[in-house]
Amino acid sequence: MTAYLRTGEEIYEESFRIIRAETNLARFPADVSRAVVRMVHAAGATDIADDVAFTPGVVAAANAALRAGAPIFCDSSMVATGIIRSRLPRDNDVVCHIKDPALAEVAAAKGITKTMAAVDLWLPRLEGAVVAVGNAPTALFRLLEIVGETGVKPAAVIGIPVGFVGAAESKEALVANPFGLDYLVVRGRRGGSAMTVAAVNAIASTDELTNTSRQD
């Protein structure tokens, strides 16, 4: 039988060693690099790093927001469920409204997606929050509309929706945003909840191999 690694720590260490050996991380600041390594790990594809676009201060901005107790707004239940609560420094709220039974009626009345209707509910606490979009491009588009309409700005946007309709375009809109938003995206059609969750968990962690939170 083939020999194989048996402990989680050994597997993580070897995985991250391989990722760093096979991935071009030179253009990333150290804190962004750690998040990208986790995103590559979640995707199982080292070329993901080539499509990452970011603002240099995105990880620092997200960390500061989390340490200040800011909520994390998620577009999907998969993103919200995947965020490891033990890594969050202030027992931060992880908010996802997508299962709200009233959303379907609101969305139908407005002629929008349920996700867009859910994003509208973020507004009262959106200022200084961390946003994690890992599924719906319409969530990212609506977020940018709200920021433009109200001037309310989240501290950082992890914007990695996936799909063939609107995903690439919504991420390009975030990259080109005129509001000064800090962001981390994977350009193109690729994305998804796994990479989004990996980025958030990496940003919130002090140790790559553990669930240690950022307690200062």
Identify the pLDDT of residue 35. 96
Confidence (pLDDT) at 215:
47
pLDDT score, position 202:
95
Residue 46 CB partners (closer than 8 Å, separation 6+): 19, 22, 23, 40
pLDDT recorded at residue 216:
44
CA count, 13 A, side-chain hemisphere, 172: 6
What integer pLDDT is reported at residue 209 of this predicted model? 60
Q: Can you list the positions of beta strands (E) in 84-176?
A: 94-95, 130-133, 156-159
**pLDDT computed for residue 173 by the predictor:** 98
- Which residues of the chain have a pLDDT value below 50? 211, 214-216
Active site residues: 41
Measured CA to CA, the distance from residue 98 to residue 116 in angstroms comes to 9
pLDDT of residue 208: 63
Going from the C-alpha of 115 to that of each of 75, 121, 124, 141, 214, the distances in angstroms are: 7, 10, 17, 10, 30
Task: List domains and CATH numbers for the chain.
Answer: 8-204 (3.40.50.10230)
